[in-house]
Amino acid sequence: MIPADPFQTRALLCLDNVTVERNGEKHLDRINLCINTGEIVTLVGPNGAGKSTLVKTALGLLKPTQGQVIHSSPLTIGYVPQSLELEESMPVTVRRFLSASQPLSDLKEKNLHKTLALVGAPGLLDRPLRLVSGGEMRRIILARALLKKPDMLILDEPTSGVDVSGQASLYALIADIRDEYHCGVLLVSHNLHIVMAATDRVICLNRHLCCSGTPEDVRAHPQFVSLFGQHGADALGIYRHDHDHEHNLSGEVCHESH
C-alpha cells in the first residue's frame, strides 16, 4: 500500500513489472506505470495492444501473472466503462441508475442534482435511461463515478458514442473535474489530437510500454510513428485549448480573464 498524504502529489496506483498471460500468450509484458494525483495520463495503442487488459488489471478484475498492483490507502476509484449493455425495455430512470452505485440513503436529492449539473446534464433525473442521447449517457456515467468522490478516475474510451462536436467539450469537462477534485485520471483513447489538449503524460502501449512522456516527446518517438504512421504522429498534440477564460464543470465559459 502507498500511504496517503493529502498535502502532496502522490502515486495513487502503480503497476510494478506487471505481466498478464493467458493460454501461453502475453497480453501485458513487464508494465511499469504509476498514476499520480492531479495528473491525466492518456493510454493509446492499436487494437489488441492490451489497453482493456491493463484497465482490468488496474481495477483488480484481473490478477497479474507476474508483478503486482500497488495502490494508495485509502483509494476510491471511479470507473467509466467504454459501454454499458442496458435492456431497452427496462423502465430504469436516470435517478435509479445513479442510485445503484451506492445506497439511496447516502445519496441526497440535492447531491444527485448537483452532480448532474456539474457534468453538464441537468434536469435528467426522472428521464428514462433509454431516452437519453449518447452524449448524455456518457455524462450520466461520469456523474455516477463522481458520486463516489473518487481519488482516481479510470475512463475507457469516454467519447464512445459521442459525436465529434461533443468530444472536445467532454474532454474539457474531464480536465475541469481533475482540477476541481485533484484526482488522478487514466484515460484510454483512440482519438489522438483532441485528447491531448489536457493530457500531462501519454503512454503508448503495444502489450509492452513502447514509449511515454509529454505529447511532444511521444509524437517524435520512432515506435509511436511505427504504430500510428507519420500522419498520426503529426496529429498528436495539435489541439490546444486557449485558457484566456475560465469554465465551470459543464464546460461553459464563466468569464473572460484580463
**pLDDT tens-digit profile of 16-27?**
999 999 999 999
* Residue at 258 is within a domain: no
Average pLDDT (154-160) is 86
Do 129 and 196 have their domain in common?
no
Q: What is the per-residue pLDDT for 84?
A: 73
Residue 246 confidence class, pLDDT cut points 50, 70, 90: very low
Lowest mean pLDDT among 70-79, 169-178, 232-241, 246-255: 246-255
Q: What is the per-residue pLDDT for 12?
A: 96
CATH of the domain at 45: 3.40.50.300
Cα-Cα-Cα-Cα dihedral sign, residues 232, 233, 235, 237:
positive
Average pLDDT (218-234) is 76
Do 165 and 219 have their domain in common?
yes
Q: What is the per-residue pLDDT for 243?
A: 40
Do 52 and 178 have their domain in common?
yes
Q: Contact, 224 vs 218, CB < 8 A?
A: yes
Do 62 and 121 have their domain in common?
no
The CA distance from 51 to 205, in Å, is 7
For 51, residues 6+ apart whose C-beta sits below 8 A from its C-beta are 43, 45, 156, 188, 205
Residue 250 confidence class, pLDDT cut points 50, 70, 90: very low
What φ, ψ does residue 35 adopt, rounded to 5°? -110, 130
Q: Last residue of a domain, which of 149, 169, 197?
A: 149
Residue 238 confidence class, pLDDT cut points 50, 70, 90: very low
**What tens digit of pLDDT does each residue of 72-92 get?**
988 999 999 887 776 666 688
Q: Which residue has the cell 489541439?
A: 239
- Mean pLDDT (the chain) is 81
Average pLDDT (45-50) is 89
Q: Does the pTM exceed 0.75?
A: yes
Do 68 and 159 have their domain in common?
yes
Average pLDDT (21-43) is 94
Q: What is the per-residue pLDDT for 247?
A: 38
Count the helix, strand and coil residues of the chain and give each as a percent rounded to the nearest 5: 35, 30, 40
Residue 60 confidence class, pLDDT cut points 50, 70, 90: very high
Do 69 and 164 have their domain in common?
yes
Do 156 and 69 have their domain in common?
yes
Do 49 and 157 have their domain in common?
yes
Domain span at residue 171 reads 9-76+152-241
Q: What is the per-residue pLDDT for 251?
A: 38
Do 176 and 230 have their domain in common?
yes
Do 162 and 230 have their domain in common?
yes
Domain total in the chain: 2
* Residue at 92 is within a domain: yes
Do 210 and 234 have their domain in common?
yes
* Residue at 228 is within a domain: yes
Do 157 and 200 have their domain in common?
yes
Residue 256 confidence class, pLDDT cut points 50, 70, 90: very low
Q: Is the pLDDT of residue 252 over 50?
A: no
Average pLDDT (204-229) is 83
